[in-house]
Chain A
Amino acid sequence: NAGVTQTPKFQVLKTGQSMTLQCAQDMNHEYMSWYRQDPGMGLRLIHYSVGAGITDQGEVPNGYNVSRSTTEDFPLRLLSAAPSQTSVYFCASSYSPGVNTEAFFGQGTRLTVV
């Protein structure tokens, strides 16, 4: 059982480049989310999705786009990378946000923008 899989694990981008962070889960979870983690800041919610075709903004959405065309996949797009987006990114999934279930996290993508 793979759980939540994120790719790539590491990435270096130049300012202005675009890229997509991939996230896939094989648990048939409805709810998926993206967080960024910065030193001393904890985890901050970027975007989330409550099901295929439905997405919404979290606490820090600027500079990021998401889509949810299937239940399994929830990619995060950086349209024009900036040094302020240097961070560790985590994707998470849950069966449902309305049920008392914990979120399962991926292993993270460490992104550096130079």
Chain B
Amino acid sequence: GESVGLHLPTLSVQEGDNSIINCAYSNSASDYFIWYKQESGKGPQFIIDIRSNMDKRQGQRVTVLLNKTVKHLSLQIAATQPGDSAVYFCAERVNSGYSTLTFGKGTMLLVSP
């Protein structure tokens, strides 16, 4: 079967580099954002989240930046490792009662040793 990674924007980096993956979201009313990592043949896995009242949040080797003015989200991965190779998705939520997540199309990150 065709991989979900085909036709996606791809970011290729060397091991040890810092990676920045970008996401433009669609709804100015979105109040919560999540970054997911999806390895080949697996389901998406939560990486980090951020609420709209913040502009930066840090985790272990990852940082998410939120610019509400231009509706832009980015994921920074420090000291990228081969195990970081995956497809990365951003997701946004509009808080209106029972809210659902809307996912972006994803970016494939390829890390070379």
Contact = CB atoms under 8 A, between A and B. Distances in A.
A53 interface: no
Interface residues of B, number: 32
B49 A39 contact: no
A94 to B, nearest CB: 9
By DSSP majority rule, is chain A's interface helix, strand, loop, or mixed? Answer: strand
Interface stretch (A60-68, A74-82, A104-112): A104-112
By DSSP majority rule, is chain B's interface helix, strand, loop, or mixed? Answer: loop
B44 A90 contact: yes
Contacts of A90: 43-44
Interface of B: 1-8, 32, 34, 41-46, 49, 51, 89, 91, 93, 95, 97-106
The 7 closest A-B pairs by CB, nearest first: A105-B43, A40-B7, A102-B46, A43-B103, A42-B105, A42-B103, A105-B44
